[in-house]
Structure 1
């Protein structure tokens, strides 16, 4: 007599199939969730601040001055290739990302990027790899991330954000500095990304 070996996975799946019985008809999933809402910039600021991001509401002409105030003199900044040069202060050393290796990116004092969209209700900023945002690694390795968001890029909720984004692009969703906690719920920042996030919100 030949006995076929049955894996634990097959055993569990077999039991599930037996318990569920015959597969029922497909259920239509309602898609009537809200797709538009009132944009509240104050709510975005509140949510970002709750996540320990530092928010600066500034006119675009003062972006370089605010960045200069955030960084020490002679700091080194990694920037994506399409970032507006006017945003960068003369007091920093700029490293354009022309294929920089990970060590050079991680050793920089920070990175400045633009954003694709921001969600007020969740306090989330989304990057999509556009030329003014660069590769995902730029916003993950440096310890400081300065992100410039225009008011016109802010939407009320996630469905509206998804409608503005292209799914096949490399999306990075950021809600405050990188943070995690251990088994005792002690918060640790900077494990999976920048320890400090500054968001410059333009009119």
Structure 2
């Protein structure tokens, strides 16, 4: 049986982004984002009710401050007491998992969308996604960019403006472009 382009996307395989089913999902998410982003002055309870309509999972007490932008929403799973500040962009063609108690600063960008290296495949509209995982109680500084396929461990700290191109171990502090684990970058245990 032939799988749909959406099924290929969800499996992390090459898929055609111009597929009508995928385009329809983008339109649905666009309409949802308009409603969500129009709630800027509302309460966290109102935000949470709307998040539950579109995101894959939303933990107790989680907050995403509008404006917020994503591709689909259903590939995003955020844990309990996660705080995501203004202007976050999550390109979620693959799974994005954010662990309990994580804080994400303003204007952070999380990308799972990737493109083939072959220009003919790109010209044909083919794309793929690689999941991003952020552990529990991590702290992502404002303006950081997290690239496809990255895992950030529990209790890790990412400096503001950093570009995270590879995995960051649990308890580490990473910063810069590209982000590097700071020498002695383990956080003291409290």
Task: Pick the TM interval, shorter chain.
Answer: under 0.3
Q: Which has the larger radius of gyration?
A: 1
Higher strand share: 2
Q: What is the TM-score when the length of structure 1 is the normalising length?
A: 0.23
Higher helix share: 1
Higher relative contact order (CA 8 A, sep 6+): 1
